[in-house]
Structure formats: C-alpha cells, structure tokens
Amino acid sequence: MKITEDILYAGVNDHQVDLFEGQYTVPNGMAYNSYVILDEHPAVMDTVDVHFGKEWLENVEQALQGRKPEYLIIQHMEPDHSANIPAFLEKYPEAKVAATGKAFDMIRQFYSLELDGKKIVAENGGTLDLGKHKLNFIYAPMVHWPEVMMTYDATDKVFFSADGFGKFGALDVDEDWACEARRYYFGIVGKYGMQVQNVLKKAGELDIQIICPLHGPVLTENLGYYLNLYNIWSSYEAESEGVTIAYASIYGHTKEAALYLDKLLQEKGVKTAVHDLARTDMAEAVEDAFRYGKLVLAANTYNAGINPFMDDFIRRLLERSYQKRTIAFIENGSWVPVAAKTMQSMFEKSKEITFAENKVTLLSAMKPENQAQLEALAAELA
C-alpha cells in the first residue's frame, strides 16, 4: 500500500504467533512492518520475522516496481525486524546496509555475514541522501535496545519510529489502538521512560505528519493524541482517574475482600479494574496498574512472605520503574499476617509512592470489622 507517493508498505501480518517475545499473548497476531522508499537511490527500511522472509521479499520486490534497492536501513536488531538481513543481501548483493555501530556489532552476533564494503555507519544526526528524500538518523538508545535509531524524512514529513508507537495485533484486524499499544508499551518499553522522553523532545522539533512504526498501523491523523499518550506513559503519570485492584487468594477470603472493595468503589462512581493474579494476563494487570492513579494490592501471607502470584506482579511493576501512584493494601493471615508489610517494603526504593492510611487486615476470613475497614479504605480512595 502507498503511504506517500514514494513510500510504500512492505510488511507482513503474523497470525501464527501465540506468544510475542515468548511471553505476551497476541490473540490478534502481530504486524512486522517494513517500508520501501522509491527514489533515485531506492531504500528498504528494516526486514521482518524469519518465518515470513519469502512473503516479505515478494512484497519488497512488488513495491520496488522492477528496480533494485541500493540501501537496507536497519533501525532495530531484534530478530522480528532483522532476521531477514541475510536473505535480503543474498537477493540484492549490491545493496549497502545502514545502521548504528552497535547494530553492526549485533549483526555479527546474530549472523555470519561478510559486510566489507557494504557498511554505512549511521551517525546520530547524520543523513543519507536518496535523491529527493534525505533521511536524518536519530539515535534512540534503550528504546528499547541500545542500538536503536529512528529516521526522519523531511520531504514527506515521515517519522520512522522503530518500536516506538508500536502495538500488538496484525494490521488486518480492526481493534482499538490505545489498549494494545498501552499493553505493548508497558510490557516492553515501560522501564525506559526517560529514554522515551528524550526521543519525544527530539520529535517535538520535527514537522511530523506521518508516523511509521515497526509494529501496528501507520499513524496519519490526530498525531497529537498518540504523542500525548506516549508523553503520559513515559513520564509515569496516571492516564486516567481510577483504581486497579489486584488480588491473589487461596481459599477465596482475600478475593471476597477485594471484590467487596470493588463494589464499594463502583457505588461511589469510581472507575475500577480488577485482576485475579493467578488467572489474569499479567501484562493486562501491569497495563492497568500504570493506567490508573491508584492501586490496591490484596494478598495472603504465604511462607512468611506473600502469595507468589502477588510477588511476581509487584516485581513486574518494579522492573518497569513503577512510580507516582497511591498504593493500598489488603492482607490476610491465619496466624502472623505479614503480607502488607512485605508488599510495602518491596516499594521502598520506588519514587513518589503514597501509601493509603487505611490498611485492611483479615485474620483468615471476612468479618464485620473488615467490612468497616474496607468502607474506610473506599472512602479514602474515592
């Protein structure tokens, strides 16, 4: 498909994958995006996953309209974008490869290729002259690998954003962008908010009319909406008012307390998202914990610590630099309840965390006094 008169889409849809990066469920598949720039010196932007090399090369050939590419530009070395570098160079042996120095180091790690005379080391702020189109390279280290660069074409005002502004889901499926882009962002990029902020500052100096990511749809309208969401996410601000309730329960008593709190909050008009951590998609739970400004953690004491599902969830938040939130605790224990103390201690190095004044402690099962505690907590959170 044409993106502009000279830039064409050459990517593929993957409906074979069940777990992206071996961990994220992708019920609507994935898109691996690649682009062809037709100019005096034609260029191809990135390759695709190894399983789709034949289809991709056919797409590239069709987009080239009988011409030969002079350049392959590699913005990101994850195999879902770089796996077909060898196949491309086998078909187009005269093409040169443009990438960062760190990307070339990774090419040597992934593939046995002889690139003497074919390498163009892209410098930060450097350009590649295709004729009408002059590509400007922008380093984006740790968004979300160290070798990443993004590319700006001032002629068509197109920003090739690597994994930035990507989302889960193939392009032949119609679904809300924000939901799967948010889950993708916090699952994969979320730790690197400061680095994303740096890229957004650079992007703010450019006249961008089109964003071409390596996953998800090409963005052509209302770009302020997408840029604003990325600014919120990468600065760790809450996107919406609301409360996420995440619980881990063994015999159902902790679950009962969590659901009672949810009922109280809904009665007060508070938006809630509830996750049973033993059964939910953890990436969805992480997404909601970052989406809303308040988080309730409900867990039983287990092996003098906390329920392992809760432990896993909190560690996922911490490794993504969870901050700027209010956190409340519901704990349960039949002899020495220590879950709340354990959970709170895990956030001791987190930035700008406020702990709710009201803490709920169940001694085995829900009692009337616990209902009163939950009502006080609901009032505080609302």
- Single-letter amino acid code for the residue at 113: L
Q: Where are the alpha helices (DSSP H) in 51-120?
A: 53-64, 79-82, 85-91, 101-110
From residue 160, give the alpha-carbon distance in Å to each of 33, 57, 243, 372: 10, 20, 35, 54
Dihedral sign computed on CA atoms, order 67, 73, 77, 78: negative
pLDDT band at 264 (very low <50, low <70, confident <90, very high): very high
Sheet holding 96-99, edge to edge: 7-9, 35-37, 43-45, 71-73, 96-99, 119-121
Model confidence at 181: pLDDT above 90:
yes
* Average model confidence (pLDDT) across the chain: 97
Assess whether pLDDT exceeds 90 at residue 7: yes
Going by C-beta distance under 8 Å and a sequence separation of 6 or more, which residues neighbour residue 243?
265, 270, 271, 272, 273, 292, 294, 295, 296, 381
pLDDT by residue (tens digit) across 48-107?
A: 999 999 999 999 999 999 999 999 999 999 999 999 999 999 999 999 999 999 999 999
How is the chain split into domains, by residue range? 7-234, 240-381
Q: How confident is the model at residue 114 (pLDDT cuts 50, 70, 90)?
A: confident
Alpha-carbon gap, residue 254 to 248, rounded angstroms: 7
User: Quick one: pLDDT band at residue 159, thresholds 50, 70, 90?
Assistant: very high
CA separation (Å) from 95 to 33, 56, 302, 359?
Answer: 20, 17, 59, 64
Task: State both tokens at 89.
Answer: 């160079």
Determine which of 68-72, 113-117, 143-147, 193-197 has the lowest per-residue pLDDT on average: 113-117
Using DSSP, state whether 135 is helix, strand or coil. Answer: strand
Common-topology check for domains 7-234 and 240-381: no
pTM: 0.93
Q: Mean per-residue pLDDT for 317-342?
A: 96
pLDDT of residue 1: 87
Fold of 240-381: Rossmann fold (3.40.50)
Over residues 234-248, mean pLDDT: 97
pLDDT tens for residues 10-27? 999 999 999 999 999 999
Q: Which CATH architecture has domain 7-234?
A: 4-Layer Sandwich (3.60)
Alpha-carbon distance of 308 to 269, in angstroms, equals: 32
Distance CA 343, CA 341 (A): 6
Q: 3-class SS at 305?
A: strand
pLDDT in tens, 194-204: 999 999 999 99
CA pair distance 100, 94, nearest whole angstrom? 20
